[in-house]
Structure formats: C-alpha cells, structure tokens
Amino acid sequence: MATPHIGCEPGDIAELVLMPGDPRRAARIAETFLYDTRLVSEVRGNNIFTGTYQGTPMSVMASGMGVPTTSLYATELYRFYAVKRICRVGTTGGIASTVKVRDVIIANAAHTNSTVATIQVPGVTLSLAASFDMLRGAVDEARRDAPAEVTVHVGPVYSSDFFYLDRPDIVSGLAKIGTLGVEMESAGLFACAATEGGEALTVLTVSDHLFDGSGDMTAEERETSFGNALRIAAAGLLA
C-alpha cells in the first residue's frame, strides 16, 4: 500500500530506520553502512533503501528540512509501514560553550518554537523527548567505543522553525539553560513518535558553532563526516 509520499509495500521498509536530512546523505549511508541494500521507494526523489546492519534489517530515508516534512515522513513510516524506531542522524549548530565543531550530540529532548509542541493537547506545551531505551543504547555505545578524539555530549537541542531568524537573545537564553545545539527536525520526530506509539532518537554532528567562531564544516564534510554519529545512532536503533 503506497502512500502519497512513499511508493512501496508494507514489509519493504524495516522496523528500524535511520533518518538523515539530506537525500544524498541517505544514499551514502545505504552504500557505505548497510549491506545487501536495495532501493524500495523513489517518490519525489526521496529514495528509501533497505538493507541490513549487523544482520538486522534496517532502512534509511531522508527527512528533508524542518518539522513539517519530518513529521509527514515519520507519520507515514510509523502509521502505514509498521516502523518501530526512527533515529535522526544529522548536523547541528553548536550553542553551548562546551560543544565544538565535529563533536557528537545525543539529544535527550528538543525545545522548539514550533506549534508541534502545543497542537496535540490544547493549553499544554508538551515535553518532546527521546525514547529512553534508544537513548540508553546510544549513550552506552558512545561511552564504550567512541574514539579518543571524538567528544560526545548528551542533552537537549533546539528545533527551530526558522533558519534565518536574527534573534541572538533566543539563542543566548537557550545556552544559559544548557541547550547544546540548534537544528530543525527533532521536535517533529519526537512528537510523531509520541503520537503514533513509536520510538525516536536524534544523534547529531556539530557542523558549525553560533558563538565560538570556529570554522564551519564544508558541504562535502557534512555529507561524509558522520561515521561516529552513525554508529551511535545504529546502536540506539538496535538497543
């Protein structure tokens, strides 16, 4: 049963899904990280690949950018394709002074200015959090096997609905309460998981920093320098 945005049958997509933002990154993950990979959907050019990782079926699909597209794809995966767990694996801008470019962030929660936090229950702002078992599995993997040169942080991120929003007061306020980085998708993913009865996690590589002036990763580096985050994300899916 194809949906308007996914063109394959139930069973073609694994119960465990890696979800980068960029379709090119999804293709690279399929080529270099999964085994026995096959293309199962190519609607709108957002290809979905299914293969195995450590002998376990796993799929990879891009979310696109922002809460709306992430929510659309995550809802269809959970609701129509029996997906149990999705792990976003992407990039983030660093906020906290302890975070540096190329560090890895495992997000345990997502603050947001999106209405995804308020639309489900009138009068209530939901706490959008990662699934505990996935979080524990990812953290255990990071603490056990992270290379010495890779620093891994665990904490909240900020999912913004606006990429070009010149509000340094918001970012500095978030930094003061321990927010590690800013991105645009995790709140939507966590909200969909809660609504659809699934599980979700986010693992991010810091590609730039909003305050410390350190050099940004290039577009090519963003596409290729995700190995550590990817391994940690897969551990969260398998936990």
Catalytic sites, residue numbers: 208
Q: What is the largest CA-CA distance in the chain?
A: 49
Count other C-beta atoms under 10 Å from residue 195's C-beta: 16
Give, as one character, the DSSP assignment of residue 166: -
What span, in angstroms and rounded, lies between the C-alpha atoms of 69 and 90?
15
Count other C-beta atoms under 10 Å from residue 152's C-beta: 18
C-alpha distance from residue 192 to each of 122, 173, 197 (Å): 17, 27, 8
Q: Is 76 helix (H, G, I), strand (E, B) or coil?
A: helix
What phi, psi does 223 have (nearest 5°)? -75, -30
Which segments of the chain are extended strands (E)? 16-19, 35-41, 48-53, 56-61, 85-94, 104-112, 152-159, 181-183, 199-209
* Rg of the chain in Å (alpha carbons): 17
Which residues, 6+ apart, have CB-to-CB distance to 122 below 8 Å?
none
What span, in angstroms and rounded, lies between the C-alpha atoms of 209 and 230?
21
